[in-house]
Structure 1
Amino acid sequence: MSKAGQKVLSSLRQMIISGELKAGERVAEIPTAERLGVSRTPVRIAFRALEQEGLLIKLERRGYRVRKVSPDEVSGAIEVRGVLEGLAARLLAERGLSLAQREALLECLVQGDELFDKGYVTEEDLELYHDLNHRFHRIIIDASHNPAITVALQRNEHLPFASVSSLAIDRNNLKGEYRRFSFAHMQHHAVFDAIDRGQGARAEAIMREHANATLRYADLFASQNEDDLQLRLIGLVVE
């Protein structure tokens, strides 16, 4: 996906989890493209991706509808991802890194250091982090040499925020996003260290904890549900 397409996809994810696009709301290409100031093509691609992620439902007629997502659904999918990626990290630690695998992981770490060492991040930095984060995880999964992990992850990725690529960036709070993503990058350093030292149990534990950092999305959906309940109760009182 192009950088423009990735930015649209991330923006729409953030609009869904923030409640700006509410559950049940219908979304269409033209008004969404106008709202985001982009062409229809990246919006069309983003809609398809969000459908695959379980955040949008394709309508029989044209357009999509925002799918209602429960906090339990998000946390459950993330927990499964953590288990699978933790297993991959343990297997790789026990198997041992090849020189090429070690260099590829180190390259991701160096690139991440360059993004975060300056003490702040821009939107462009986080787009770069999205790519290197995906690459770091992909190397570990592929290097585990367990195809069942790949198959299970592919199935799980059809659930909301289960994919490592399902990052939502709050562009109105880049200071907070710097803290969140720089911490995630430090976890990359820790899991690499465990794998490189052959410490399988430690690598597995860190990778599972790393996935749990995404649970903030479950908390946001929980907050949305509470707000919706309060609005319904207010409506009942007024009536």
Structure 2
Amino acid sequence: MADQNLEPTSAKDSRASQTIKAIMGLRGYIIDGRLRPGERVLEQMLVDTLGVSRTPARTAMQRVCEEGLMEPLPGGGFAVVKFSVNDVFDAIAVRGNLEGMAVRMAAERGAPPEVLKALKKVVKQLDVAVENLKHSWDHLAEYVRLNDQFHDLMQDTCNSPMVKRSLERLVVLPFATPNAFASASPLNLDGLLQVVIYAQEQHRSIVEAIELREGTRAEALAIEHSRSTWKYLHQIFLQGDSSLDLAGLRMIVRP
């Protein structure tokens, strides 16, 4: 006899879809600054604005809390986390160290041939994208896409689920992503171009170090590479409060 308590597949799919919608919506509200640092997040607000039921809304709040974008309040409920400028630079440093660990392990263990081949291909594509950027910033989206692809492949070189999960958890914070500087591009295009050119040289050197099995060099290059983001964001913070209106940086509270 069929189990009468089994939930129809369509109902499960609908519930899962609502949960994903709630998670993505809540995360977007925080990153875009619609929910400000320190603001209490109400379940009913997500129900009303996202068009989801209470269970997906509740699940989304718990998930986003686990990701580090919200924190539980002593009396119950959740509030948006307040990030400091130091938190931004600490997150970038942690990402750099994790990526450094990944490529060092890859160099010492030997990266999967198909991943190394893919990295080389992306480096060549990035060469073209960087050349295009020298003539027009209309190509920035292409550079960002390829840069994301390069960093995803860096995680895959070491074939370590533990390192990959740690990095995936960290880059939920938009200011910790490899492309955090790109959102600030309108403020200083010349400075951004220099960051991009320097970063591309590092991309090439990281791949070379992995292939030559130079673990210490690969790790040092990856850590220094993360400072490309650090250095550019440091310039952005020095330019004044207007820079904090950029997506992702709205999450930062300055003293």
Q: TM-score range by the shorter chain?
A: 0.5 to 0.7
More displaced stretch, 52-61 vs 119-128: 52-61
RMSD: 3.4
Segments of structure 1 that go 5 or more residues without pairing to the other structure are: 1-44, 229-239
SS at match of 2:175: coil
Percent sequence identity over aligned pairs? 31
Tell me the residue number matched to 1:51.
30
CA distance in 1, matches of 2:26, 2:134: 30
Q: Is the 8 A contact 1:86 1:208 kept in 2?
A: yes
Give the letter for the 2:233 counterpart. Y
- Closer, same or farther in 2 for the Cα pair 1:154/1:117, shift >3 Å? closer
For residues 43-192 of structure 1, what are the structure 2 equivalents within 5 Å? 48-49=27-28, 51=30, 57=36, 60=42, 61=45, 69-117=83-131, 120-166=134-180, 167-171=182-186, 173-192=188-207
Query: How many aligned residue pairs are there?
Result: 182
SS at match of 2:183: coil
More displaced stretch, 115-124 vs 201-210: 115-124
Structure of higher RCO (CA pairs closer than 8 Å, 6+ residues apart):
1
Give the letter for the 2:193 counterpart. Y
Give the letter for the 2:150 counterpart. F
Residues 94-115 of structure 1: per-residue CA shift (max 9 Å, x gap): 1223332222111111111112
Q: Is the 8 A contact 1:90 1:201 kept in 2?
A: yes
Cα drift, residue 217 of structure 1: 1.7
Residues 37-56 of structure 1: per-residue CA shift (max 9 Å, x gap): xxxxxxxx798447369995
Segments of structure 2 that go 5 or more residues without pairing to the other structure are: 1-23, 51-79, 245-255
CA distance in 2, matches of 1:48, 1:197: 41
Q: Is the 8 A contact 2:209 2:215 kept in 1?
A: yes
For normalisation by structure 2, the TM-score amounts to: 0.60
CA distance in 1, matches of 2:161, 2:178: 18
Q: 1:221 pairs with 214, 233, 237, which one?
A: 237
CA distance in 2, matches of 1:56, 1:175: 32
